[in-house]
Amino acid sequence: LRRTSVQDLLRSTDLDREVLVKGWVRTRRGNKYVQFIAVNDGSGFNSIQVVANAEQFPEEKLKADGVDNGAAVAVRGKLVASQGKGQSVEIQAEEITVYGTADQDAYPLQKKGHTLEFLRGIAHLRPRTNTFGAVLRIRHAMSFAVHKYFNDHGYFYIHTPIITGSDAEGAGQMFRVTTLSDTKPPLDEAGAVDYSQDFFGKATNLTVSGQLEGEVAAMALGKVYTFGPTFRAENSNTARHLAEFWMIEPEVAFFDLQDNMDLAEDFLKSLVRYALEHCPDDLQFLNDHYDKELLNRLQFVVENDFKRLTYTEAVEILKGAKQKFEFPVDWGTDLQSEHERYLVEKHFKKPVILTNYPKDIKAFYMKLDEDGRTVRAMDVLFPGIGEIIGGSQREDDLQKLQQRMQEMHVPEEDLWWYLDTRRFGSAPHAGFGLGFERLILFITGMANIRDVIPFPRFPKSAEF
Ligand code: 4AD
Ligand code: MG
């Protein structure tokens, strides 16, 4: 007798046959005549109900064997139509084997609901809860949907380095990489760490973005994307920032800013649509337990066009707003999340794409506009999230790019290889970065980014 997954059994119409499931007990309840054991194997949101007749399985025996919340079990029995409501099939138990018990006094996941904050402290056990099971299955579905979208549209997946000598964003928020040795790090004559002696022969850091390498690939393969971990050593303790997060970065040759916006909008809508189609049980649970507007909001994003306007137009709107902001708005300053959320949630009441930001608040690689003051940047802002995507058309003119690098103190010798793409066969191109965890925040309706990644990395998180 081979094991069947709980989800396959719940969908099965082939009844009155012998089946075997293996999973973990979620609850056991009942009386002296019959006991009901909910078994979940992670294959989907719903558990299967196991009915244990008291003649064969008296409550005292189940208890003594440890058939309780958290125990790992195998159940052999007959799959039958269920009399109870809430499920169409159940298993009449014939044999219950316990692999591992969970001491009810010590097991942290009690039957009562736990706060998300409490669960953050036991990140190794929280995948066993309904909430994190749902989030992790949705996270998987979204990873798959990302690859599917790009594959269906003729893009190539490029693996970009994690250890790199360059700072793609020029923002200096990097984690330094050094080799550990049993001697002290080699010092130069001035007493500074001598990186030329290090493994890579120069100072290296964990990547903040795969974009620059993505651009290199786009200049050969045309349409590419990256999807990998990125690192930011910013000391932000917010519900939207992680020190280690995953980013998806498409980069496309011969794309301008318009094409880039069209791609971002179509891509986001297609990901949300995929979730609605493939994760109905998990989304319904999150909708019912955390955020009653979740499904409506997801549907709205799929069905409505995003609002597109320039940074300059947005600043005018914000200056005219009745709402008092904590940070004042002035042309040339970066927008704070309170401003972004005002535009999305109060003013337009839909996703917004802001373009053409002042050059001084954006990265060196963005293409300069004709006015010489703004660049072809775009940020996609989402309800409840703020910035979900940041991107731009890239500067493809060698001289202009070199000048921007000088102005912004980006060392040319670190990026000679990047500049070569502008020296040899340079072409217009554009791309963007989607923060994967911010996408998952939006799709699950969770409020804190630490709750949408299995092991969140943030300042002082060193538990795992
Ligand atoms: O706006 P960012 O910094 O843009 C880039 O890194 C570009 N190189 C992307 C590109 O054009 N290829 O980051 C892109 C996105 C943000 O919009 C946000 O969703 C996410 O990455 N992000 C973070 N997510 C979680 N924690 C952080 N600390 C994040 N920083 C950025
Ligand atoms: Mg950004």
User: Are 366 and 243 part of one and the same domain?
Assistant: yes
- pTM exceeding 0.90: yes
d(CA 450, CA 441): 10
CATH classification of the domain holding 92: 2.40.50.140
Question: Residue 112: what pLDDT?
Answer: 77
Question: Residue 184: what pLDDT?
Answer: 65
Question: Residue 181: what pLDDT?
Answer: 65
Residue nearest to atom 2 of ligand 1 (CA): 390
d(CA 436, CA 120): 19
Domain that holds residue 237: 127-173+208-451
User: Are 159 and 233 part of one and the same domain?
Assistant: yes
Question: Residue 380: what pLDDT?
Answer: 98
> Who lines ligand 1 at CB under 6 A?
168-169, 209, 211, 232, 234, 241-242, 245, 247, 249, 387-392, 431-433, 435, 437-438
d(CA 143, CA 120): 23
Order across the sheet with 156-157: list the strands. Answer: 156-157, 223-231, 244-253, 429-435, 386-393, 377-382, 352-355, 307-310
State whether residue 84 is helix, strand or coil.
coil
Residue nearest to atom 1 of ligand 1 (CA): 390
Domain count, the chain: 2
The answer as to whether 195 is a domain residue is no
User: Are 11 and 68 part of one and the same domain?
Assistant: yes
The answer as to whether 197 is a domain residue is no
The answer as to whether 191 is a domain residue is no
Question: Residue 463: what pLDDT?
Answer: 64
Q: Do the beta carbons of residue 6 and residue 40 sit within 8 Å?
A: yes
3-class secondary structure for 246-305? EEEEEEEECCCHHHHHHHHHHHHHHHHHHHHHHCHHHHHHHHHHCCCCHHHHHHHHHHCC
Residue nearest to atom 25 of ligand 1 (CA): 241
Contact partners, residue 278, CB within 8 Å, separation at least 6: 141, 145
d(CA 426, CA 242): 35
Q: Do the beta carbons of residue 209 and residue 174 sit within 8 Å?
A: no
Residue 326 is which amino acid?
E
User: Are 412 and 372 part of one and the same domain?
Assistant: yes
For the stretch 138-170, pLDDT in tens is: 999 999 999 999 999 999 999 999 999 888 888
ipTM of the complex: 0.99
CB environment 207-246: b (16+ within 10 A), e (fewer):
bbbbbbbbbbbbbeebbbbbbbebbbeeeeeeebbbbbbb
User: Are 238 and 362 part of one and the same domain?
Assistant: yes
Please identify, by atom number, the ligand 1 atom nearest to the C-alpha of residue 433.
Answer: 9
Q: Which of 245, 415, 449 to mutate to test the pocket of ligand 1 (most atoms within 8 A of CB)?
A: 245
The answer as to whether 438 is a domain residue is yes
d(CA 170, CA 365): 9
Rounded to the nearest angstrom, the distance between the alpha carbon of 387 and the centre of ligand 2 is 7
For the chain, list residues with pLDDT below 70: 181-185, 462-464
Question: Residue 127: what pLDDT?
Answer: 96
